[in-house]
Structure 1
Amino acid sequence: MATYRPIMRDYKPVPARTQPRAQWMVWFVAGLGLPLILVALMLPDQNQPPPLAPESTSLVSIGPVQQVTKPAKTAALITTTEKLISRKIPPLVAAPQPEQQRTVLTVRRGDSLDRLFRRHNLSAADLAGIMQDDLAKQHLRLVKPGDEIIVLHNDGHISELSREINFDSSLKVSREEEGFSAGIIKHKISVRQVEAKGRITSSLYLAAAEAGISDRTIMNLTDIFAWDIDFVLDIRRGDEFRLIVEQLSRDGVAIVEGNILAAEFTNQGEVFRAIRYEDPSGHSSYFTPDGRSLRKAFLRAPLSFSRVSSNFNPNRRHPVLNTIRAHKGVDYAAAHGTPVKAAGDGKIIFRGKKGGYGNAVILQHGGNITTLYGHLSNFNRQARKGSHVNQGQIIGYVGQTGLASGPHLHYEYRKNGVHKNPRTVNLPKAEPIDPALKADFLRTAAPLINRLDDTPLVLLEANNSGDFDITNSET
């Protein structure tokens, strides 16, 4: 049988296949050798002496002591280490706390606490947490216009809230780890006596402001002398006044004036003085230096700080009817709604519309005396026909009802049915001080009278804080 061999198309011999080299040995040696080399490099030099102290160290041996010199590399390393150790490391400083914002919430008409918080972008959740505290809820549940609530917060999150409860105490609410807690802070209250005095150059209000006297105190002054001085008509340029009054301070800061202890008012050259006296039962009133009560049965004017637009005049021409018609009272021009006070203790015998008087009130007093108040815009709801009113109690409000050309009060004073001029009629006097208390009153009045006598009258300049001009009178 014939044997065939493959045909060689390129007529070249087939090269023999070469066997693959053993490369695994190379990788094994490299993988094992490199770590060993690194370990060897990390080991300390056997010929290098051990680390020495910063200064030259003497080696102790049985034989003679030999001085060993530090190698250059070791000395450099030690020097660098010493510099690092000696370098002052600044103390750790706590991260600054975010600055708190202080916001005063002023209550307006119709406001609630929730509305106040929403208006100032304060956390409603914090408000809910605050109201969980019974004490906080008790003093924050009701707010009225004019109230102020002080809040410390960080971007609306409450940290502290406070509110004045009364003159000597405040509510304080603070954030704690588990919510809010509330407490009452008692303020330190101190009282001292201060003096104020002034001279009227244009108006009583301006003179009081220049003397540093608050509106409240000047109103109290006019109430003290209301039975002797008509502050609507009788005040003149050059009239003078001086006061000894309590000044109340809270936590060392003057806040408000208290009671007027002694007062003097010089009106058109006539001097009026008043001393405050409190009897053993706690009742207080004002008396002249010799113990006569300043309080009389009737006030000279039934409203404060207005102007007389028409005096008592039997031959006056009526401004509306344009005829000669007797004016049997006094007209006090005042702003619409100004309170009208009862001139004396009495009983309301008429309240309603009365012809040209418009809305009117008539009071029956002792001694067969009646007073009439006309052109009122409205009545005090509590002052009804048949009810008893006290001197100074509000019975109505200035208006323009009836035959009136503008808002004013028409006031009449009648005795036994006959009209009298309210500004000049002799008014019945009140009872003097109890004879059993007169000696005690004179002891109380003496030092106050001496201070009024010894203090020269000086026109004071008002200061920005509204404080009084203070003399050496602290108690």
Structure 2
Amino acid sequence: MGERNEAARSARKLAMRRKAQKRHSHFYERCAHWSFGCHGEAEPIRWHRERWILAGTALLITAVSGFLIPAWASAMRPDSVSTAHAVLPLALPKAAPEVTQAATVEDWHIVQVQPGQTLSDLFQSQGLSLTDVQHVVDQSGDAKALHHISPGQEFDFLLDSDGSLKGIRFDKDESNRSTMRFDGDKATVTAEAREVERREHVAHGTIDSSLFAAGNKAGMSNQMVLKLAELFKYDIDFVQDLREGDSFTVIYDDVYRDGAYLHEGDIVAAEFVNDGDRYTAYRFKKDDGSYGWFSEDGRPIQKSFLRIPVDFTRISSQFSAARMHPVLGLMRAHKGVDYAAPTGTPIHAAGDGVVKFKGWMNGYGNFVIIQHNGSISTAYGHMSKFGPEKVGQRVSQGAVIGFVGMTGLATGPHLHYEFRVNDVQRDPQKVTLPKPEPLPAAQLAKFRAQVVQPQLARLKTLDTNIKLAKASGTKRNDD
């Protein structure tokens, strides 16, 4: 049975082969020699054209595959993404905590000097005694800075828990602070330098109503306007002499300490034109270290005599050879000038001199005479009270010698002021006052080279710019 089935399968295969050969007889005829079978004796292989074609095709496919497959693989490979590395804190064993002591903050009590206060008042306000005051003065090494205190100045006090003084700080001057610390009776004093700078400003004004109005319009404070008037008070009566159209140009500075505004400074250079007359003032540091203000020719702005020795509201009576006396009702000479001012207004010495007379004088009331030199003296009448000077004592220009009142023959509070030359009264408003001496030759040369020339150039430049600005403004208005 098995043999029969095997014979049947062999017969079917043979029939299928014959059928295929018959259907594809043309192929078998062409390619019969391609057979690699071992039918009979093997012949050497001969490379016919077809074999060369098959071999070349195979090589070409292999080469192309070797080039394209890696390129395709690279193109299909996804872009590499950098791996983010996270930094994780590691728990480390804790070190033993260090014992730190917080810095001690000292509790300084800052006290600002008020008008009228003394150093003793400041100490008493902190519960300290006069013994503490004396101890500080003795140990400071600079009693002058403590004796001459001014409103607005600051003193810092450091007190112990029992209220005793541990330390004090104060400004010796603008640029130096002194600190004193106490350990029992022992004092330690240290000095600290502070940075101070001056920043300059320029102002120009024209008088149309008053000096203060013009100054404020130019950006100046009232205090700086007063300093300007103080400079030129020897030459200009700012109550009687000002004219509309008068002008001024001022270069002044402000003081800054440690970068913060401290206070107003001084006038560096100034020019004032009054009724056509030009006056100038320049600040100059002299060889002795002190500052002064001088005109262009090197003469001190501070004249030998004040033109007016009191701040007044009006002139109530001029110098006259004959006037009706307001009390006596008689015609008589008035050998001085009366300046009306409120009772208690300070009266200043017109110049350096010696008190020759101080007391009651008929008609004049409380009366003072100051002898300035061999020929010139000044007299002051109707005082409400005297200053502290005594007869024979020397006084400086500007010293307060009394206060305005109406003692003697007077109808209201005023100062009766006389200027005498060889005991003969002269009109204080018209008398020619002697000029002060200029700077010594060496200082004068330095003053002209270092101060006058550069500051004068600045003032002239400012004047030119102001005139050009005015001319430009006038032209625009005309257009």
Question: 1:327 deviation in Å?
Answer: 1.9
Paired residue secondary structure (1:316): strand
Are positions 1:221 and 2:247 aligned together? no
For residue 429 of structure 2, what is the amino acid of its counterpart? Answer: R
Unaligned runs of 5+ in 1: 1-84, 86-99, 119-123, 175-180, 459-475
Question: 1:321 deviation in Å?
Answer: 2.8
Question: 1:344 deviation in Å?
Answer: 2.5
Are positions 1:441 and 2:450 aligned together? no
1:309 is matched with: 316
2:268 is matched with: 261
Check the 8 A contact 1:295/1:429 in 2, yes or no: no
Question: 1:172 deviation in Å?
Answer: 6.6
1:391 pairs with one of 386, 397, 403? 397
Check the 8 A contact 1:232/1:301 in 2, yes or no: no
Distance 1:114 1:371, change over 3 A: closer
Are positions 1:296 and 2:284 aligned together? no
Distance between the aligned counterparts of 1:297 and 1:114, measured in 2? Answer: 42
1:404 pairs with one of 404, 410, 418? 410
Distance between the aligned counterparts of 1:334 and 1:310, measured in 2? Answer: 12
Check the 8 A contact 1:169/1:187 in 2, yes or no: yes
Identity of aligned residues (%): 39
How is 1:62-461 mapped onto 2 (pairs within 5 angstroms)?
Answer: 105-106=111-112, 112-113=121-122, 116-117=125-126, 146=151, 148-149=154-155, 164-170=171-177, 185-210=192-217, 211-213=219-221, 215=223, 217-282=224-289, 284-304=291-311, 306-366=313-373, 368-385=375-392, 387-444=393-450, 445-456=452-463
Distance between the aligned counterparts of 2:190 and 2:437, measured in 1? Answer: 49
Question: 1:105 deviation in Å?
Answer: 4.1
Distance 1:322 1:205, change over 3 A: farther
Question: 1:109 deviation in Å?
Answer: 7.4
Check the 8 A contact 2:356/2:391 in 1, yes or no: no
For residue 343 of structure 2, what is the amino acid of its counterpart? Answer: H
Distance between the aligned counterparts of 1:259 and 1:141, measured in 2? Answer: 24
Distance 1:161 1:199, change over 3 A: farther
Question: 1:454 deviation in Å?
Answer: 1.3
Paired residue secondary structure (2:334): coil
Distance 1:370 1:382, change over 3 A: closer
For residue 439 of structure 1, what is the amino acid of its counterpart? Answer: A
Distance between the aligned counterparts of 1:256 and 1:186, measured in 2? Answer: 18
Distance 1:306 1:186, change over 3 A: farther
TM-score for the superposition, normalised by structure 1: 0.60
Paired residue secondary structure (1:447): helix
Moved more, 297-306 or 140-149: 140-149
Distance between the aligned counterparts of 1:168 and 1:383, measured in 2? Answer: 38
Check the 8 A contact 1:338/1:397 in 2, yes or no: yes
Paired residue secondary structure (1:453): helix
Distance between the aligned counterparts of 2:321 and 2:351, measured in 1? Answer: 25
Paired residue secondary structure (2:460): helix
For residue 344 of structure 1, what is the amino acid of its counterpart? Answer: G
Question: 1:254 deviation in Å?
Answer: 2.5
Distance 1:440 1:142, change over 3 A: closer
For residue 376 of structure 1, what is the amino acid of its counterpart? Answer: M
Of structures 1 and 2, the one with the larger relative CO (CA 8 A, separation 6+) is 1
For residue 116 of structure 1, what is the amino acid of its counterpart? Answer: S
Distance between the aligned counterparts of 1:275 and 1:141, measured in 2? Answer: 31
| Larger gyration radius, structure 1 or structure 2 | 2
Paired residue secondary structure (1:376): strand
Question: 1:358 deviation in Å?
Answer: 0.8
Check the 8 A contact 2:205/2:215 in 1, yes or no: yes
Moved more, 320-329 or 162-171: 162-171
**Structure number having the greater helix percentage:** 2
Distance between the aligned counterparts of 1:282 and 1:113, measured in 2? Answer: 32
Question: 1:148 deviation in Å?
Answer: 4.3
TM-score for the superposition, normalised by structure 2: 0.60
Distance 1:142 1:416, change over 3 A: closer
CA RMSD of aligned residues (A): 4.8
Paired residue secondary structure (1:455): helix
> How many equivalent residue pairs?
366
Distance between the aligned counterparts of 2:285 and 2:240, measured in 1? Answer: 31
For residue 270 of structure 1, what is the amino acid of its counterpart? Answer: D
Distance 1:171 1:208, change over 3 A: farther
